[in-house]
């Protein structure tokens, strides 16, 4: 068996195009959804990501703003920016790029964001709304993207055994909340695994849909996957590889080639789930804009 590749590029492009049509419809009436990104310091990966978000906003016809603070910015400095964006009528969604420097309390900063503008979906209010199935919840972009990949790839979640490897607040827990909700892209029976789970390989083999977000390079191997399962790899890791010009290669949390011989469908890394995150961020911003009255 050779797995079907779940390519995130065309799915993400389709969602971005849908958002653009709706956003440009509002622009014709003199209104524009606005997304802001706040970045503290010079983390190279964050810089690339922030630049991509700005470009995506421009292509979607959205107002975009990037606020850059130096590494030595204080927590008070950052909270002042958050307060300004909370009160800026041109900004309908914003996020503070993680990770933050160690001297800043990330939880305190994220909790200061107006839940109605919480484009990342990390505020406790949105977490609570998601857990009870409130449709006004702004959903964390990566798990929301995974759900859309499943739906748009015609992978049935209803009644499926879904196993999530990883219990982070960013992916694992909200992924479970999405898959267990009634309706399209939900109605699954969900198991969440973590470092204290007993006989993890056996639990993984019980999965019809296996979502891996554990942050360990090529952790899931072919013997951990039931033949015919759908495997969603959320991980992105840099591993040393002297054969590559850059001296490294990017891999997921799944050993791609051997698992692709067992699974019925699999996401590549790169080119899979990662492509969905910005698309869903734009979707969240549009949702926030519409819920604020458009």
In a domain, 123, yes or no: no
CATH of the domain at 216: 3.40.50.720
User: Do 145 and 249 sit in the same domain of this protein?
Assistant: yes
Residue 1's pLDDT is: 64
Residue 256's pLDDT is: 97
Number of domains in the chain: 2
Active-site residue flag, 120: yes
Active-site residue flag, 283: no
What range defines the domain where residue 161 resides? 141-274
User: Do 196 and 245 sit in the same domain of this protein?
Assistant: yes
User: Do 146 and 58 sit in the same domain of this protein?
Assistant: no
Q: Please tell me which residue in 118, 120, 233, 253 is annotated as part of the active site.
A: 120
> pTM score > 0.75 for this model?
yes
In a domain, 4, yes or no: no
User: Do 200 and 156 sit in the same domain of this protein?
Assistant: yes
Active-site residue flag, 187: no
Secondary structure element (H or E) that encloses residue 42, with its range? none
Average pLDDT of adjacent 10-residue blocks, the chain of 294 residues: 92 96 90 95 78 88 94 96 98 94 95 97 96 97 98 98 97 98 97 95 98 96 98 93 89 97 97 93 97 88
User: Do 84 and 202 sit in the same domain of this protein?
Assistant: no
**CA–CA distance, 23 with 17 (Å, rounded to integer):** 10
Residues 6+ apart with CB under 8 A from 166: 172, 192, 193, 194, 212, 213, 214, 215, 234
Q: Are 112 and 82 in contact (CB under 8 A)?
A: yes
CATH of the domain at 107: 3.40.50.10860
Residue 43's pLDDT is: 75
Residue with tokens 């859309």: 148
In a domain, 5, yes or no: no
In a domain, 125, yes or no: no
Residue 44's pLDDT is: 74
User: Do 183 and 240 sit in the same domain of this protein?
Assistant: yes
């Amino acid at each position: 068996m050779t797995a079907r590749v779940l390519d995130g590029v065309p799915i993400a492009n389709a969602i971005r195009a849908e958002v653009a049509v709706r956003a440009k419809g509002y622009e014709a009436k003199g209104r524009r959804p606005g997304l802001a990104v706040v970045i503290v310091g010079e983390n190279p990966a964050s810089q690339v990501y922030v630049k991509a978000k700005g470009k995506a906003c421009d292509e979607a016809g959205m107002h975009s703003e990037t606020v850059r603070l130096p590494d030595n910015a204080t927590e008070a400095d950052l909270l002042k920016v958050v307060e300004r964006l909370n009160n800026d009528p041109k900004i309908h969604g914003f996020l503070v790029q993680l990770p933050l420097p160690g001297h800043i309390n990330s939880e305190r900063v994220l909790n200061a964001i107006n839940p109605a503008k919480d484009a990342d979906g990390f505020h406790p209010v949105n977490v609570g709304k998601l857990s009870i199935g409130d449709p006004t919840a702004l959903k964390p972009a990566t798990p929301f993207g995974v759900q859309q990949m499943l739906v748009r790839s015609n992978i049935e979640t209803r009644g499926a055994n879904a196993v999530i490897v990883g219990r982070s607040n960013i992916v694992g827990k909200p992924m479970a909340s999405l898959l267990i909700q009634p309706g399209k892209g939900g109605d699954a029976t969900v198991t969440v695994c973590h470092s204290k789970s007993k006989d993890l390989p056996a639990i993984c083999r019980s999965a019809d849909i296996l979502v891996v977000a554990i942050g360990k390079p090529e952790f899931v191997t072919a013997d951990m996957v039931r033949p015919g399962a759908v495997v969603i790899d959320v991980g992105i890791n840099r591993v040393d590889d002297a054969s590559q010009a850059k001296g490294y290669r990017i891999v997921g949390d799944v050993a791609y080639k051997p698992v692709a011989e067992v699974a019925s469908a699999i996401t590549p890394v790169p080119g899979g789930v990662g492509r969905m995150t910005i698309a869903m961020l734009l979707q969240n911003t549009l949702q926030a804009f519409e819920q604020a009255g458009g």
